Amino acid sequence: MLIRGANVVGPRGLQKSDILVVKDRIAEIAPELTQPAGATTVEAHGWLALPGLIDIHVHLREPGGEHKEDFLTGTRAALAGGVTTVLGMPNTSPPITDLATFKAALALAEQKAVCDFGLFIGATHENVDMAWLVEEAAGLKMYMGSSTGTLLLDRFEDQYAHLAAYPPSRVVAVHAENEEAVRYFEKRGQRRPPLCAILEATRAIRMAQTLKRAIHICHLSTAEEIQMVKDAKERGEPVTCEVTPHHLFLSAGIERHLGPSGRTNPPLRSMEDVEALWDNLRYVDAIASDHAPHTLEEKNSATPPSGVPGLETMLPLLLMAVKQRQLEFSDLVRLTSTGPAKLFSLERKGQLAPGFDADIVLVNPEAQWTISSEGLNTRCGWTPFEGWRVWGKIMQVYLRGRLAFANGKVLVEPGAGQRVKQRRA
């Protein structure tokens, strides 16, 4: 297959090129390639070609929460958003904490996923000595503070033991909010103020520093945290982090307007925090959706859960930011493809380059449209970005060379997604 005349978004910006795909891989990228005999062509003049997005933080809710999402609906939402690889979080019901629960979730994902995927294992009080044995896990997720589900590891002893035991070449991703502080403020009617995140991020970075191991901090939300990550990086420590679209595009003021629909862990923050995240994106390793669907009924109940869906809106929002000159194309690709692939040592993912998987997103950058809950693929059926005017329509998505999404429809069958391979030291 020859994709002709697309503006290829690479680490150095835009370049008009043809992309030759042979079977499931990219064979060649260059201006004006000659069309091999028998090749189909895709005319992509005026369109952008990006590497398929890699979303390293999603909650697909299966097993146990299928009324809000499952591996099929969640990965359909991914494809519709230009995301061709997702890494699923382990706070399901039951949570993924050992080989048996991991294998059961993996079997479901293999049957149902329509994009490529990896799955985390969750750290518990009991699995310090065996979590690392689940070799197929994308990484270890440690809930240093509580969020959705039962996974919680708030004691120093357990946190430190896990960080010491997990192989240094693999990723430990942490939800860093201090549980004692969360509870203290909750009793006083305050929901997870910045101090909760700042305290626990400090602790995470210091533990990793002492153990001389890498640590990845999920969904940074405050100016102080990004400063800490910056400082750690400048000291040469292997501290990495991600930010979410909702912490970049929404703020505490909007949360008051959205009500429980805007409730997330960590919460939406002040405009000063939002600006600090934008200003320091060069210290950020990935933008990840933290796609966390709940039904509107749950969100509007007396005890609303935290989390918002995000897979389908992440790329359009970021393309809008490029249009508004808040972000460069090269940063978009680094934060959503090359960065995540590097962080998780994903084989053949994250770049439009010869030898890489032909995970390709074609976007019409001049199409303006309005985000609406109608036609969303996520089972929860709503978005906190309802009514937003954005630039950039996702025209086609290829998954390992197969046309997987076009004309607003997912075209591949359940099971088309495969587990990602990771290079292991």
Which stretches of the chain bind Zn ion, using CB under 5 A? 290
Residues in the chain: 425
Tokens of 41: 């062509």
CB of 123 to Zn ion, least distance (A): 14
Nearer to Zn ion, 116 or 290 (CB): 290
Give the Cα separation of 98 and 179 in Å (integer). 24
Give the Cα separation of 31 and 49 in Å (integer). 13
CB of 408 to Zn ion, least distance (A): 27
CB of 239 to Zn ion, least distance (A): 19
Distant-in-sequence, close-in-space partners of 117: CB < 8 Å, separation ≥ 6: 71, 75, 85, 86, 87, 88, 109, 417, 418, 419, 420
Tokens of 253: 């003021």
DSSP lists the bridge partners of residue 54 as 85
291: closest CA among 115, 158, 416?
115
Helix (H) / strand (E) containing 200: helix 194-211
Nearer to Zn ion, 289 or 396 (CB): 289
* Nearest residue relative to Zn ion (C-beta): 290
Burial letters for 52-81: b for 16+ Cβ neighbours within 10 Å, e otherwise?
bbbbbbbbbbbbebbebbbbbbbbbbbbbb
Nearer to Zn ion, 69 or 290 (CB): 290
- What single-letter amino acid sits at 252? A
CB of 364 to Zn ion, least distance (A): 31
CB of 85 to Zn ion, least distance (A): 17
CB of 246 to Zn ion, least distance (A): 11
Give the Cα separation of 191 and 205 in Å (integer). 24
Nearer to Zn ion, 290 or 331 (CB): 290
Give the Cα separation of 223 and 230 in Å (integer). 11
CB of 118 to Zn ion, least distance (A): 15
Nearer to Zn ion, 290 or 359 (CB): 290
Q: What share of the chain is helix, strand, coil (3-state, %, to 5)?
A: 30, 25, 45
Helix (H) / strand (E) containing 164: helix 156-165
CB of 140 to Zn ion, least distance (A): 14
CB of 57 to Zn ion, least distance (A): 5
Nearer to Zn ion, 290 or 312 (CB): 290
Give the Cα separation of 247 and 50 in Å (integer). 23
